[in-house]
Amino acid sequence: MITNTEIYSLTVNGTKREVRDAWVGESLLYVLRERLGLPGSKGACEQGECGSCTVIMDGQAVCSCLVMAATAIDSEITTVEGLTSDGSLTAVQDAFITEGGVQCGFCTPGLVVAIEHLLANNPEPTELEIKESISGNICRCTGYGRIFEAVATAVSTRRANL
């Protein structure tokens, strides 16, 4: 049994981070942004409908707004900031830039994480699988066309780099 009342630790992007003086009912999204200085994950709907807060937790793409942070103490959490260790861009991030997949940019971190998760498990996804994998990420600017182009480019870049 693990009990949390005041201080707890989260493993974020490979580093153990201590959370203190926080209300233990806070969402993982809030803790990442406001307690741990990781504002890459965005908060919009806070009810799991928009996907802009998507992070990888124990190998699953999840909405960080729907995870009670204090329950995630022994999980491995990867945010958009931790997709590479040296601050370089992944093939997916690079493709978003070259294909114009970013307009206002608010949904971008969540989409990038969701697509990274897709390609990590399925390097050659079909069109339907791509659509399904980002069905929980809402973008109001692009109309998604440039995002699908970015995924196609990222798939071929990753294939070339194998």
Partner 1 sequence: MTVLVPLTLKEALIATSANPSAQIIQGGTDLMVEINFNHRKPTDVIALRRVNEIRGYKISDDRSSVTVGAGLPYQAMEHGELAELFPALAQAARTVGSPQIRAAGSIGGNLGTCSPAGDALPVLSALNAIVNLNTATGSREISVHDFMVGVKRNARQPGEIIVSTTLPIINGWQGYAKVGVRNAMVISVASCCLVVDRIAGAIAVSLGAVGPTIVRCRETEAWLASQVDLKKVATVAPNLIKEFGDRIASESKPIDDHRSTAAYRRHAVATLSRRLLMRANTQ
Taking the least distance from each CB to partner 1, the nearer of 14 and 48 is 48
Q: Is the CB of 39 or the CB of 136 nearer to partner 1?
A: 136
Q: Which two tokens stand for residue 64?
A: 């960080």
Asked if residue 151 lies in contact with residue 95, where contact means CB atoms within 8 angstroms, the answer is yes
Q: From 148, 138, 48, select the one nearest 92 (Cα to Cα).
A: 148
Query: What is the smallest separation between the CB atom of 136 and partner 1, expressed in angstroms?
Result: 2
Q: Which residues lie near partner 1 (CB under 8 A)?
A: 1-5, 23-25, 27, 46-49, 51, 54, 60-63, 65-68, 70-71, 73-74, 114, 132-133, 135-138
- Least Cβ distance, residue 87 to partner 1 (angstroms): 26
Least separation in angstroms between CB 29 and partner 1? 9
Interhelix angle for 108-121 vs 145-160, to 10°? 40
- Strand partners for 54: 63
Tell me the CA end-to-end span of the chain in Å, nearest whole number. Answer: 43
- Please, what is the minimum distance in Å from the beta carbon of residue 5 to partner 1? 5
Question: What is the spatial distance between Cα 127 and Cα 131, in angstroms, rounded to a whole number?
Answer: 6
Contact 79, 13 (CB under 8 A): yes
Residue whose CB is less far from partner 1, 66 or 97: 66
Q: Closest CB to partner 1 among 98 and 121? A: 121
